[in-house]
Structure 1
Amino acid sequence: MPEQLWLPGLEAPPPLTDGLFFAVYPDSNTAAGIAKFAQQLCADHDLRGGGRRGVRSKPLAANRLHVTLRHLGNFSGGLPADVLEAAKRAAASVSMAPFTVEFDALASFAKKPRPGPAVLVGEHGVRGLQALHDALEARLRDDGIEPDERFTPHLTLAYGMPWIERRPAEPACWNVREFALVHSLLGRTRHIVLARWPLVGQN
C-alpha cells in the first residue's frame, strides 16, 4: 500500500462539533399536535414512493420542534466563551412583552431536484418573532457580534421532503412567553438549553 503523503498547510480543518443559537419553543400540547402533522406528512410522502427512491423523510420529534431566532455559529471543540457570554448579555437586555405566534402555511426549503426541509411559515402571525429577532440582533451588534439580518420565521417539520408549493395548513398557534439559548451537539441530534429568558416587557 503506497504511503500517504502529508503536506504542511493542507491538513483537513477540525470537524464542527458544537452549534449555538437562540430559539423559541412551542408549548408541549402544541408541539405534540405539530409532531403528529409532521409524521402524517412524512407517511404520505413515503407511501407515494419517496422511500422507493431511497429518500426517506424524517419527521422531527415533538421535543425538537423549535423556531430558530438567531444562529450564532458552529464551532470545533466546544463553544467559545466570549460568544457565549456576549449572547447571554444580549438576551438579558431584551425587553419585550409576550406575544402570540401563528404559522398557517406549509412550505419547502428544498431546492429542486434535491429533497430538503418541509416547514411551517406564516405572515401576520409571525410578526412577534420578527420583532424578537430584531431586538436580539440589535443587542448582539452592540456587543460586537457580526450582524446577520437574514431571518425567515419558520418551524421545521421534517427533512428529506421534496419541494412543494406553499399551501395553507391548519394553524399552529401558541403564546410565546420566553426564549432560550441552545447548545446543539452537531451530528448527534441533541439540543441542550443553556438558559431561558422570560418576556416581561410592556406592549
Structure 2
Amino acid sequence: MPDTLQLGLPGLESPTPTDRLMFLLYPDRRTAERIALEAARLKRASGLAGPLLQTGRLHITLHHLGDYAGLPNDIVSKGRFAGDAVEAGAFEVVFDRAASFANRSGNNPFTLQGGEGIQPLIAFQKALGEKMAGAALRPDRSFTPHITLLYDRQVMPEQAITPISWTVSRFALVQSKLGRTQHIVLREWDLG
C-alpha cells in the first residue's frame, strides 16, 4: 500500500525538510579566499552588519533539486545520471559588481554579480538543465548567477568592484543539511 504522505491527502502534513539537493559550482580555494577578502572589504565600506559566509561555503547555485525529509536516493540517482551526461569544457567566469537582492523577510542577500563575464556560466546552467530534464528532473528555468556573501537587513544598490574571475573546471551535486550550514558533496564532475 502506498505511503499516504506521498499521496498528498488533505489534512496530512508533510514531514519537515531536513535536506536540500542542488547542483553547485564552488570557486577554487584561491578564488574563494579572494572573494572572502572582497566580501570583508565591501561589508566594512557599506556598513553591513550580517556575518560573512564561511569561505568554504561560497558557491554559485546552478539548480535546486528540491527540499526533502532525508536523502531521496531516487533523486540523487537521477542527479548523478544528469551530471554524467554533461559534455562541457572548462570556462571562464567574471563577477564585476556587488548588489543586494531584496526579499520580503528582510534578510537580504548581498551578492557578487556579473555582466558579460557570466554568459558562459548561463550557457552551462542551461545545458545542465537540459540533461536534468532528460533524467526526469525539473531544472530551474530562472537563473540569476550570483555568489552570496552575507545576509543583512539593508539593501545595497549595485556597485562596481575589481573583477574577480576564475576558470570553472568542475561542478558538484550537493546535499545541504538545512539549518546546519553543512554541505556534503555527493559527486563532482570535471569539465574537460
Same fold (TM over 0.5): yes
* Aligned pairs for 1:1-203 within 5 A: 10=11, 12-45=13-46, 48=47, 56-76=49-69, 78-111=70-103, 114-200=106-192
- Mapped contact 1:98–1:178 kept (Cα < 8 A): yes
Q: Secondary structure at the match of 2:80?
A: helix
Give 1:10 deviation, angstroms.
4.6
Give 1:27 deviation, angstroms.
1.1
Q: Distance in 1 between matches of 2:141 and 2:120?
A: 16
Residue-pair matches, total: 184
Structure 1 unmatched ranges of 5 or more: 1-8, 51-55
- Mapped contact 2:23–2:64 kept (Cα < 8 A): yes
- Mapped contact 1:121–1:155 kept (Cα < 8 A): yes
RMSD (CA atoms): 2.0
Give 1:31 deviation, angstroms.
0.6
- Mapped contact 1:118–1:161 kept (Cα < 8 A): no
Q: Distance in 2 between matches of 1:180 and 1:133?
A: 12
Give 1:161 deviation, angstroms.
4.6
Change (3 A) 1:19 1:91: same
Give the structure 1 partner of residue 6 of structure 2.
none
Q: Distance in 1 between matches of 2:31 and 2:139?
A: 32
Q: Distance in 2 between matches of 1:111 and 1:81?
A: 32
Q: Distance in 2 between matches of 1:140 and 1:26?
A: 22
- Mapped contact 1:110–1:163 kept (Cα < 8 A): yes
Per-residue CA deviations over 1:44-67 (Å, capped at 9, x if unaligned) read: 45xx4x6xxxxx402111101000
Structure whose alpha-carbon radius of gyration is higher: 1
Give 1:111 deviation, angstroms.
3.3
Change (3 A) 1:13 1:112: closer
Aligned structure 1 segments of 4 or more residues deviating by more than 6 angstroms: none
Change (3 A) 1:106 1:196: same
- With normalisation by structure 1, the TM-score equals 0.84
